[in-house]
Structure 1
Amino acid sequence: MYKDDFPESFDSPKNYYFSVLSSSWLMVLAMLFFIGISWYALEEYFRDRGEERFNNSVQELTEAVNHRMVAYEQVLRGGIGLFLSSNGVTRQEWQTYIINARLGEYYPGIQGIGYAEILTPANVEEHVKQIQAEGFNEYKIYPEGERELYCAINYLEPFDWRNQRAFGYDMCSEPIRRAAILSAIASGMPTISGKVTLVQETADDTQSGFLMYLPLYRSLATTEAERKQQATGLVYAAFRMNDLMQGIMGNRFSGLKLAIYDGGNPSNANLMFSSSKKLPSTQDIFYKSQTEMIEGQAWRLDISSQSRFISSSEQVQSIWLQVIGCGFVLALFYSVVVMARNRYQESMLTTELIANEKRFRLVIEASPSALFMVDKSGVITLVNTHAERLFGYARDELLGRSINMLLPEALRGAHQQHMSNYLVQPIAKNMSMRDDLFGCCKDGTRLAIEVGLTPIHFSNGVSILATINNVSERKRIEIQRAEHTKELERINQELDRFAYIASHDLKSPLRGIEQLTSWLSEDLADNTNENVQKYLGLIQSRIHRMVLLLDGLLMFSRIGRVDTEIVEVNTKQLMEDMFALVAPPQGFELVLEGGFPQFKTVKTLLELVVRNLMSNAIKHHDKEQGVIRVQCEQRDEQYWFSVIDDGPGISNAYHGKVFEMFQTLRPRDEVEGSGLGLSLVKKTVESLGGKVQLKSDGRGCCFQFSWPMRIVDKEVL
Structure 2
Amino acid sequence: MANPSETSNEMLRLAFEASPAAMFMVDQDGRIELVNAQCEGTFGYARGEMIGMSVETLAPAGLRSRHRHLRADFAANPSKRLMGVGRDLRAVRRDGSEFPVEIGLTPVATPLGPRVVAFAVDITARLLVEESLRNSLAELERANESLSRFAYVASHDIQEPLRKISAFADILNTAMAEGDAEESRYAAEVMAASAQHARHIVADVLALARSLNSAYALETFALRETIRTVLDSLSQTILEERADVAVIGEDFSLQGDRSQATQMVQNLVSNALKYHKPGTPPRVRIVLKGGEGEHSLAIEDEGIGFAATHRDEIFEPFRRLNDRGDFPGTGIGLAICKTIASRHGWRLSATSTPTVGSTFEIVFPKAFSGQNESARKRL
**Quick one: which of 436, 450, 465 aligns to 2:118?**
465
Amino acid at match of 2:295: Y
Q: In the aligned structure 1, how far is the partner of 2:71 from the partner of 2:199?
A: 66
User: Is the counterpart of residue 701 in structure 1 residue 361 in structure 2?
Assistant: no
How far does the alpha carbon of each residue in 1:261-309 deviate from its partner, in whole angstroms, 9 at most, with x for none? xxxxxxxxxxxxxxxxxxxxxxxxxxxxxxxxxxxxxxxxxxxxxxxxx
- Give runs of aligned pairs for residues 89-100 of structure 1, distance below 5 A: none
Q: Which residue, 548, 569, 579 being the options, matches 2:231?
A: 579
- CA shift in 2, pair 1:387/1:657, >3 Å: closer
CA distance 1:599–1:684, change in 2 (3 Å) = closer
1:658 counterpart SS class: helix
Residue 636 of structure 1: how far off its partner (Å): 4.9
Tell me if structure 2 keeps the 8 A contact 1:649–1:697.
yes
**Is 1:666 the counterpart of 2:322 in the alignment?**
yes
Query: Secondary structure of 2:296's match?
Result: strand
Counterpart of 1:597 (choices 249, 252, 255) is: 252
**Aligned partners of 1:365 and 1:386 also within 8 Å:** no
CA gap of 1:578–1:353, structure 2 versus 1, over 3 A, is: closer
Shift of 1:557: 4.7
What is the CA distance between 1:631 and its match in structure 2? 0.9
Provide the rounded CA distance (Å) in 2 between the counterparts of 1:598 and 1:558.
24
- 2: distance between equivalents of 1:671 and 1:364? 71
Give the conservation status (yes or no) of the 8 Å contact 1:640–1:706.
Answer: yes
Map 1:265-344 to 2 at 5 A.
Answer: none
**Kept in 2: contact 1:685–1:692 (CA 8 A):** no
For normalisation by structure 2, the TM-score amounts to 0.50
Unaligned runs of 5+ in 2: 1-52, 58-63, 86-100
Q: Aligned pair in 2 of structure 1 residues 365, 386: CA closer, same or farther (>3 Å)?
A: farther
CA distance in structure 1 between the aligned counterparts of 2:180 and 2:326, rounded to whole angstroms: 25
| Residues 530, 628 of structure 1: alpha-carbon distance in 2 compared, 3 angstrom cutoff | farther
Q: How many residues align?
A: 257
Kindly indicate whether the alpha-carbon contact (under 8 Å) linking 1:695 and 1:702 is maintained by their aligned counterparts in 2: yes
1:617 alignment partner, one of 229, 250, 272: 272
CA offset at residue 653 of structure 1? 5.6
Q: Percent identity?
A: 19
Distance 2:291 2:184 in 1: 57
For the pair 1:628 / 2:284, whether they are aligned, the reply is yes
> Which amino acid in 2 is paired with 1:662?
F
Aligned partner (choices 538, 543, 546) of residue 190 of structure 2: 538
Q: Secondary structure at the match of 2:306?
A: coil
Query: 2:220 is matched with which residue?
Result: 568
Q: CA RMSD in A?
A: 5.3
The equivalent position to 2:338 in structure 1, one of 674, 682, 686, is 682
Q: Which runs of 5 or more residues in structure 1 are unaligned?
A: 1-351, 374-381, 391-431, 433-449, 469-473
Letter paired with 1:568: T
Match of 2:204 among 547, 552, 566: 552
Q: 1:652 to 1:530 in 2, by over 3 A?
A: farther
Change (3 A) 1:452 1:569: farther
Which residue of 2 is the match for residue 639 of structure 1? 295
- Asked if 1 retains the 8 angstrom alpha-carbon contact of 2:272 and 2:282, the reply is no
Shift of 1:610: 1.0
- Give SS of 1:613's match: helix
TM-score normalized by the length of structure 1 = 0.29
Task: State whether residues 453 and 467 of structure 1, in contact with CA within 8 Å, keep that contact through their aligned partners in structure 2.
Answer: no
Q: Decide whether aligned partners of structure 1 residues 554 and 355 sit closer, same or farther in structure 2, where only a CA change above 3 A counts.
A: closer
Say which SS state the counterpart of residue 537 (structure 1) adopts: helix
Between 556-565 and 634-643, the greater mean CA deviation after superposition: 556-565
Residue among 243, 246, 256 paired with 1:588: 243
CA distance in 2 between partners of 1:539 and 1:704 (Å): 39
* Deviation of 1:657 (Å): 4.0
Q: Tell me, what secondary structure is at the counterpart of 1:648?
A: coil
Deviations 1:402-451 (A, max 9, x none): xxxxxxxxxxxxxxxxxxxxxxxxxxxxxx9xxxxxxxxxxxxxxxxx98
Cα deviation 1:489-544 (Å, max 9, x = unaligned): 9x99xx8xxx9xx99xx9xxx9xx8xxx9xx9xxx9xx995554444333333323
Structure having the higher Rg: 1
Give 1:626 shift: 2.8
